[in-house]
């Protein structure tokens, strides 16, 4: 990218990815069927809402690569890309509608869900015996943890919107996109 990056936005993207990684380790609720609810999506949403889609996407991308470097779980070449950098990068799309943040959050979460579903289906069709439908399994399994995670992240962002963190985000210094 020939455009010069704003140092402050760059550092915020990095810090948000680090925050997401830490919040991802704090399990706040264990779902009955195994998945867990964490707040890892919240910092990525905050960055996307403060600095726009590109910043959110990069933050998610970095979180994905960090997870890949720190605790990889690779079972398929395509799964590696679709489980690590892509779904978190998709969350960055939450910054798409600066005036309708809630709509953005739903779009971001939905895109993450779609990528996980594709990834699950690809994995499942590679390992499951023929004749089993990979889509049903993948749709259900991924919904079981992304839906509660998305709801809790959206509720929290809704509450944070009332705080200076997101309220005055746009006019705090050189906070331009990228």
Partner 1 sequence: MVPVATFRNIAIGQYIPGESMLHRLDPRTKIAVTLLLVVGLFFIDSYLGYGLAALYIALAVLNSGIPARFLFRGLKPVIIIILLTFALNSFLTEGEIIWQWGFLSLTKEGLYKGGLLAVRLILLIVGTSILTLTTSPLALTDGLESLLRPGRRVGIPAHELAMMMTIALRFIPTLLEETEKIMKAQMARGADFESGNLLQRAKSLLPLLVPLFVSAFRRADELAIAMEARCYRGGEGRTKLKQLAFRPADFFVLAGSGVFIVWLALVA
Rule CB under 8 A: is residue 18 a binding residue for partner 1? yes
Rule CB under 8 A: is residue 129 a binding residue for partner 1? yes
Rule CB under 8 A: is residue 15 a binding residue for partner 1? yes
Rule CB under 8 A: is residue 11 a binding residue for partner 1? yes
* Of the residues 35, 40, 45, 58, which one makes contact with partner 1 according to CB under 8 A: 58
Q: How far is CA 37 from the centre of its chain?
A: 13
* Of the residues 4, 33, 99, 171, which one makes contact with partner 1 according to CB under 8 A: 4
Closest CB to partner 1 among residues 100, 163: 163
* Of the residues 39, 48, 105, 115, which one makes contact with partner 1 according to CB under 8 A: 39
Residue 148 CA to residue 95 CA, distance in Å, equals 20
Angle, to 10 degrees, between the axis of helix 41-51 and the axis of helix 134-160?
60
* Of the residues 46, 94, 117, 121, which one makes contact with partner 1 according to CB under 8 A: 46
Residue 54 CA to residue 45 CA, distance in Å, equals 12
How far apart, in Å, are the Cα atoms of 2 and each of 33, 59, 141? 47, 19, 41
| Residue 167 β-bridge partners | none
Rule CB under 8 A: is residue 152 a binding residue for partner 1? yes
* Of the residues 13, 86, 89, 107, which one makes contact with partner 1 according to CB under 8 A: 13
Rule CB under 8 A: is residue 32 a binding residue for partner 1? no
Across 20-35, b (16+ Cβ under 10 Å) vs e yields: bbebbeeeeeeeeeeb
Q: Residue 39: CA atoms inside 13 Å, Cβ hemisphere, count? A: 13
40: which DSSP letter?
T
CB of 81 to partner 1, least distance (A): 11
Binding site for partner 1 (CB under 8 A): 1, 4-5, 7-8, 10-19, 21-22, 25-29, 37, 39, 42-43, 46, 58, 61-63, 65-66, 69-77, 80, 127-132, 148, 151-152, 155-156, 159-160, 163, 165, 173
């Amino acid at each position: 990218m020939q455009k010069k990056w704003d140092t402050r936005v760059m550092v915020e993207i990095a810090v948000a990815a680090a925050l997401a990684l830490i919040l991802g380790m704090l399990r706040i609720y264990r779902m009955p069927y195994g998945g867990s609810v964490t707040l890892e999506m919240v910092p990525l949403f905050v960055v996307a809402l403060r600095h726009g889609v590109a910043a959110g996407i990069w933050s998610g991308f970095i979180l994905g690569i960090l997870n890949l470097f720190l605790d990889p779980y690779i079972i398929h070449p395509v799964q590696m890309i679709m489980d690590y950098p892509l779904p978190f990068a998709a969350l960055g799309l939450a910054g798409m509608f600066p005036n309708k943040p809630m709509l953005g959050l739903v779009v971001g979460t939905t895109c993450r869900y779609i990528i996980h579903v594709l990834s699950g289906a690809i994995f499942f069709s590679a390992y499951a015996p023929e004749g089993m439908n990979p889509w049903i399994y993948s749709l259900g399994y991924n919904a079981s943890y992304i839906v509660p995670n998305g709801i809790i992240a959206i509720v929290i962002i809704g509450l944070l919107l009332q705080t200076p963190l997101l309220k005055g985000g746009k006019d705090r210094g050189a906070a331009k996109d990228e």
